[in-house]
Amino acid sequence: MRLVVPGDGVVSDTDFDVATSVTSADGSFSFFGVPPGQFMLRAQRDTSLAAMAAGAMNPQQPPSTSPPPKMQFAMASLTVGNTDIDNLTVTLVDGFTVSGRVEFESQTGRAPPQQGLQTISTMLMPADGRSVSILSLARPNRGNEDGTFQTLAYVPGRYFLNAQGIPPPWQLKSATVGGRDVLDTPLEIRNSDISGLVLTMTDRLSQLTGTIKATGGQKPAEAVVVVFPAEYRAWIDSGMNPRRLRTARATAAGAYTIPNVAPGEYLAVAFDRSDEGDLQDPTYIDLLAKAATRVTVAIEPRTQDLSMARVRR
């Protein structure tokens, strides 16, 4: 149970917590020392996480073959005045899932894989800065033999899609639902499950390579290359999807390679690693953009040489 200060309807960080509580066996709970104000009450119950923790504590116990129950949650606006609030009832509801299928689109005539589809796991990462439980990251969410999948349950919010365990040489090319791209923009869960998500795999994504040239006594071997969307302000406004941000270290000869770059328009910048900053800080990205080179990436490999820039913070 969490009592938080709402920010645009979403809690973006645990620092917004005003009070926390854990329910007793009978479901009762209490928050202490709450100041007057407008708050959001958030509750979450996930018995599958508890089952995982119990399994970790008892590794010799055989794992359960039954599917874990859905995560349940509740959200409610709450006004606190100068007196206690008693007998407040909070009703939990099931979280929402995203389901769909995996498709394969070969650029080289390769047949889709007949095995390995069950190694693909699909999960959602909060796009609003909320932290993710370590246990939830550890839970496998495998697909089915026929390429269909269903995610674990999530609370309402905006999420970035993350697919792992894709059999090589295949890579994720696109994700669409209802004809709308949700691979590079957040997928919003509101008040129902989402179905019909199509993950398209390709066996050919481009790579970006090049040589770094030193300026002003800098050493190319000490360079870092950062690539991010050319329309970076829109990227920042939509949550800074980490998929669209790529980095690479230069080799001793001053060369760099960034594999599996999705087609699109990018900004690329090389600078000394001593100038590295927080790549989730919009102000730092703005500094990098001023020194970057615009690069168009298509299906074919692209070579782009870069001169080392100086990033002054």
Does an H or E element contain 47, and which? helix 47-57
Cis? peptide before 169, omega within 30° of 0? yes
How long, in residues, is the chain? 313
* Structural tokens at position 309: 């820039």
Q: Does domain 206-309 have CATH number 2.60.40.1120?
A: yes
Share of the chain above pLDDT 90, in %: 48
* Structural tokens at position 307: 């001169």
Non-local (6+) Cβ contacts of 129 within 8 A are 12, 13
Closest CA to 212 of 295, 157, 268: 268
Q: Does domain 95-202 have CATH number 2.60.40.10?
A: yes
Own/partner contacts of 17-21, CB < 8 Å, gap of 24 or more, are none
- In this predicted model, what pLDDT tens digit does every residue of 69-109 receive, in sequence order? 678 999 999 999 999 999 999 999 999 999 999 999 998 88
For residue 262, what pLDDT is reported? 82
**Quick one: CA torsion of 156, 162, 166, 170, rounded to 10 degrees?**
120
Are 185 and 159 in contact by the 8 Å Cβ rule? The answer is no
- In this predicted model, what pLDDT tens digit does every residue of 255-289 receive, in sequence order? 999 988 888 899 999 999 989 999 989 999 999 99
Q: Rounded to an integer, what distance in angstroms lies between the CA atom of residue 28 and that of residue 30?
A: 7
**Helix, strand, coil percent values for the chain (each to nearest 5):** 15, 40, 45
Are 129 and 43 in contact by the 8 Å Cβ rule? The answer is no
**Where do the domains of the chain lie?**
2-93, 95-202, 206-309
- Taking residues 112-121, what's their average pLDDT? 84
* Structural tokens at position 291: 């020194």
Q: For residue 39, how many other CB atoms are within 10 A of its CB? A: 22
For residue 86, what pLDDT is reported? 94
